[in-house]
Amino acid sequence: MNTNRRSFIKKSIIGTGLLSGASLLGNEVFAHESTSSASKISLNNDDIILFQGDSITDVGRDRNNRNANDTGALGHGYALLAASQLLNKYPAKNLKVYNTGISGNRVPDLQKRWQEDTLAIKPTVLSILIGVNDFWRTIDRGAQTTVDEYKSQYQQLLHETLQKLPNVKLIIGEPFAVKGVGHITDAWYPKFLAYQESARDIAKEFGGILIPYQKIFDNAQKSAPGAYWAADGVHPTLAGAQMMASAWMECIK
């Protein structure tokens, strides 16, 4: 998104409070089911790239390690694989890549730690994958989170982000599940679809690039069963993590 539009967003938020994203961004917003050259992110020298989310992003990272570009700090999943490709492809840009995903997180958990684990890092590119636990906990632990709460909390999070970091470039991962594998039973549907739709709406509302992970995992099952890509239906295998990293890299020009 260009600087003038981000400046307008910042002034609108500060001047009028938390208006709806649609009214702030109008028809200029975009979300992509496949990234085109016009929509991809151009990396600049000294960019700070942050991966945020739940266990799919966390994947065993050392949470006491706050260093950029560090294998232990990046975990063992798609964030590490994407970071490896970024750092290999753009050695002259002095990129700094962080991962602050935490297993089990929902949007309210992100809200509680957003200042320390996102805003304080001052990312110029922010990648968020959140939502599967917001629904899953209603199935396995009796949480009362509704899809409307998921969406409104997510919106609040991004309003705050744009107020503090008006020029940040957003990548929104669509929450996904492999139906019929592991934990993913018929009880998930059709309710889970509404959470996915909300994530897509949010990408459009806030001018982020959407990564359509559900479609990506669905298409992958044409070449191998769902468990090959996500053994429990949610957490990617090594093959699934690489597939996610490759899709993430498609967002970069």
Q: How far is the C-alpha of 189 from the C-alpha of 131, rounded, in Å?
A: 15
Contact 192, 135 (CB under 8 A): yes
Q: What is the CA radius of gyration of the chain?
A: 17
Angle, alpha carbons 247-251-253 (nearest 5°): 130
Identify each DSSP E strand in 81-227 by its residue range.
96-99, 125-129, 169-173, 209-211
At the topology level, CATH places domain 31-249 in Rossmann fold (3.40.50)
Catalytic residues: 55, 232, 235
3-state secondary structure of 52: strand
Q: What is the pLDDT along the chain (253 residues), one digit of tens a residue?
A: 444 434 434 443 333 333 333 332 232 323 444 444 448 999 999 999 999 999 999 999 999 999 999 999 999 999 999 999 999 999 999 999 999 999 999 999 999 999 999 999 999 999 999 999 999 999 888 788 899 999 999 999 999 999 999 999 999 999 999 999 998 999 999 999 999 999 999 999 999 999 999 999 999 999 999 999 999 999 999 999 999 999 999 999 9
Contact (Cβ atoms closer than 8 angstroms) between residue 10 and residue 163:
yes
- Name the pairing type of β-strands 169-173 and 125-129: parallel
| 165-to-6, 44, 95, 160 alpha-carbon distances in Å | 9, 16, 18, 8
Q: Please report, for the chain, the start and end positions of each structural domain, with discontinuous segments joined by +.
A: 31-249
Q: Give the number of C-alpha atoms closer than 13 A to the C-alpha of residue 96, restricted to the C-beta side.
A: 10
Among 177, 178, 179, smallest CA distance to 196 is for 177
